[in-house]
Amino acid sequence: MPEARDIANLLPLKALVLAPMSGITDPPYRLVASGKGADLAYTEMVSAAGLVRGNNGCSRLLEVYPQESPLMGQLYGFDPAVLAEAAAQVQEMGLDGVDINVGCPAAKVVRKGGGAALLREPARLRKVLRRVRDVIRIPLGVKIRSGWDTRSINALQIVQMAEDCGVDLVAIHPRSRSQKFAGEADWGIIRQTKAQTGLTIIGNGDVRTPEDAVRMIDETGCDGVMIGRGSWGNPWIFEQARGLIHEGRTIPPPTWEEKKGMILRHLEMHLERNGTPLGGLTFVKHVGWYLKGYPAAAEFRRRINTIRSKEALIREMEAYFRHIEGAPGKN
């Protein structure tokens, strides 16, 4: 087994973690989150088989900006040898850790034996984790769900097996695969698992506000809180949660000027990475999240869908900002 890893350097006490989200957690999004207090981020989920085959799209998902760290590269697949080879590549690319996805409920992933499908094959998962652990020196993580369905909750057994295989941290989303994102996450599963393992445990699921992050730590004893959808259009959730957790103080929501500045900075980075027209089209979802609740936001999103140049997109954005100055709902 490779030399010991120092997980403390990767994950500080009561850490705030940006969840991996396909089509969302690219380098610009990660920089926005880390700039507002995220201690650790994950890449988008990457096909191990695609990476090993030399697929340029898979390699691009693992690109790292020099100023972002620490960063976990998340892989999915089912073949131990392929996942081990892909993990070695992630290490060579300079990322700070490797994470194996054992929770994605998407049919296209599960049909191929990856993601949450591995919850039904613990023997195969054990082989995966051991092979990966044997080839990397950097921290190894696993992101899981509570089980395949409500009749087969096996999060504790999976975590105990992961600990035996040399895994360093586990992120637990306490919904089953069959639940997908419906219903409530059962934080009790995080609490019970944390109490019976020495592993670093990151809690995930239904953290929509800074107060939710505090409550998850208090109720479960987890070592860190993973935030996904709660950060959409609201990267300030990380600094607000940090204020409550580490300083016991409430940080006010961003002013309208701060929000405008953030949207334009994020847009600039997004366009620099993706160009136009693609960058403009893929940024529309972020615009919708940032401007949720603001006047005429839906009409504005439809309008910018037709724009094909960076300059025109920024002009339209600034015109919209001027239009709603002083409007109700502006901070």
Asked whether the beta carbons of 103 and 79 are under 8 A apart, the reply is no
Beta strands in 157-251 (DSSP E): 169-173, 200-204, 224-227
DSSP H or E run through 126: helix 122-135
DSSP H or E run through 76: strand 71-76
DSSP assignment of 87-106: HHHHHHTT-SEEEEEE----
Minimal CA–CA distance to 120: which of 144, 99, 148? 148
Query: What is d(CA 199, CA 132) in angstroms, rounded to the nearest whole number?
Result: 17
Q: Are strands 40-42 and 200-204 parallel, antiparallel or unpaired?
A: unpaired
- Angle, helices 278-290 vs 310-324, to 10°: value is 20
DSSP H or E run through 47: strand 46-47
Please pick, among 58, 104, 165, 222, the residue that the annotation labels catalytic.
Answer: 104
Q: Are strands 71-76 and 46-47 parallel, antiparallel or unpaired?
A: parallel
The DSSP call for residue 231 is: G
Concerning whether 222 is annotated as a catalytic residue, the answer is no
Q: Calculate ∠ Cα 162-167-168, nearest 5°.
A: 130
Active-site residue set: 104
